[in-house]
Amino acid sequence: MKFHYHPSDEIRGMESDSLNGKKLVLGVTGSVAIYKAVDLARELIKRSADVYVVMSKDATKLVDPQLFEWATGNKVFTEFSGEVGHVVLSQTCDGMVIAPATANTIAKLAIGVADTSVSLTALNFIGLRKPLVIAPAMHLAMYRAPQISEAISKLRSYGVMILEPQEDDVRAKFPEVDDIALAVEVAVLRGTDLRGVRVLVTAGPTREFLDPVRFLTNASSGRMGIAIAKEAYFRGADVTLIHGPVNRALIPKYVRSLSVTTTTEMLNAVVNELKNKHYDVVILAGAPSDFKFKDVSKMKVDSSIESLEVTLQPTPKIAEEIRKIYNGLVVGFAAETVGGDVNTLRDRAKRKLVERGFNIIVANDVSSSEVGFNSRFNEVLILGSNGFEKFIPKTRKELIAREILDIIKKLLRVNKT
């Protein structure tokens, strides 16, 4: 009996099975960010993809191809002389990502030059209208050169997804590995099916101050709303994200975002957006504080006092306020503590669905520390005003975001017919 085992099998599907059965080409070019391509290969495998690496000759001078063979468990392609590997890969694989992509590679692809294994394979993907994602990494001045900007615009017109690099003073750096993997997932599984749709999303908590240093808030991390914003962006939507105080590292720089602190500020930001721009859907994934202090001290309250009595009063309900000016699709969220009782969760969600005028409500039980607030995972019950109901067991918030947007897409299609 023969056993076929490779170390990559240990991580396969560790994150999800979202790319199960999908074959992907990872094109690697001669950028100093090449070492991060190994992390990307493994991240795609964690999402259950089969990864086949194609390296340019310059890339092989920086990293031994055997490293990628070890990382993926598959043969690495460096040259196609006498082979038709580029044709076979483009015909049998579901998508391709070039990461890192040098300025040289981007410029060549835009004008159809196929003088490396990577550009040769990529041109076949473009010709077959198959998903191609490109993650640039180079010096910032080079990235901003008009020739490269023109090449990027041209490639986008061909349907290629070009990711925004992370910029500092001198570099256009390799995007976050998780973002690249998500972009590849979306390109392969959904494409740009939300192109032309305008989406407004809220995320994270708000703060209601007692004095200049103390405030009332909740444990929301903003991950759910941010996941929705990212997914919608990669699917081609025009996205605005309004978020409360969250970890800045979580905020995608490629999505237009507005930062607020209090519930009133979040409400005003949403109202201002709706008054000045058309949105097809408003997704209220934020967790604004329901109460605020009636009296707010301008000075820090002395910590030496023995007792302190405060009065709380309700903050405005964002959903109720925006319904006064917006008749479009509204998706609400409800975080409940029901101790795992799905029937109680359903009853509370139905009540809020009606009271707040939602078209869709996404309810979750935050009794468990394993899902919901400040977790990468969630478990939700989705209800629609049309009687729709779907329960999603514990999974990554990114996958829940995809399900929510799939439902929104269907509703928008119905509303336009």
- The CATH number that applies at residue 70 is 3.40.50.1950
How many domains does the structure of the chain reveal? 2
Do 44 and 178 sit in the same domain of this protein? yes
Across residues 140-167, what is the average pLDDT? 96
State the pLDDT confidence band at 315, using cuts at 50, 70 and 90.
very high
| Extended strands (E) in 89-192 | 95-101, 132-136, 138-139, 161-162, 166-167, 171-173
Do 136 and 278 sit in the same domain of this protein? no
State the pLDDT confidence band at 151, using cuts at 50, 70 and 90.
very high
| Helix (H), strand (E) at residue 305 | none
Using a 10 angstrom Cβ sphere, with 0-12 exposed, 13-18 middle and 19 or more buried, the burial of residue 3 is exposed
State the pLDDT confidence band at 204, using cuts at 50, 70 and 90.
very high
> What pLDDT, on the 0 to 100 scale, is given for residue 52?
97
CA dihedral 47, 374, 407, 417 (to 10 degrees): -130
| Extended strands (E) in 128-197 | 132-136, 138-139, 161-162, 166-167, 171-173
Do 164 and 287 sit in the same domain of this protein? no
Do 235 and 374 sit in the same domain of this protein? yes
367-396 pLDDT, tens digit per residue, is 888 888 888 999 999 999 999 999 999 999
Across residues 171-176, what is the average pLDDT? 94
**Mean pLDDT over each residue of the chain, to the nearest integer:** 94
Do 74 and 120 sit in the same domain of this protein? yes
Q: Rounded to whole angstroms, how far apart are CA atoms 313 and 299?
A: 20
- CATH number of the structural domain spanning residue 403: 3.40.50.10300
Residue 4 lies in a domain: no
Q: Rounded to whole angstroms, how far apart are CA atoms 97 and 354?
A: 44
Domain extent at residue 246? 198-416
244-262 pLDDT, tens digit per residue, is 999 999 999 999 999 999 9
State the pLDDT confidence band at 414, using cuts at 50, 70 and 90.
low
Q: Rounded to whole angstroms, how far apart are CA atoms 354 and 335?
A: 16
Could you tell me if 151 and 108 are in contact, meaning their C-beta atoms sit under 8 angstroms apart?
Answer: no
Do 290 and 383 sit in the same domain of this protein? yes
Q: Rounded to whole angstroms, how far apart are CA atoms 67 and 53?
A: 11
Closest CA to 203 of 293, 325, 331, 327: 331
Do 15 and 33 sit in the same domain of this protein? yes
Q: Rounded to whole angstroms, how far apart are CA atoms 128 and 130?
A: 5
| Extended strands (E) in 120-207 | 132-136, 138-139, 161-162, 166-167, 171-173, 198-203
Do 173 and 247 sit in the same domain of this protein? no
57-74 pLDDT, tens digit per residue, is 999 999 999 999 999 999
Residue 360 lies in a domain: yes
State the pLDDT confidence band at 359, using cuts at 50, 70 and 90.
very high
User: How many angstroms from the chain centroid is the CA of residue 393?
Assistant: 20
State the pLDDT confidence band at 87, using cuts at 50, 70 and 90.
confident
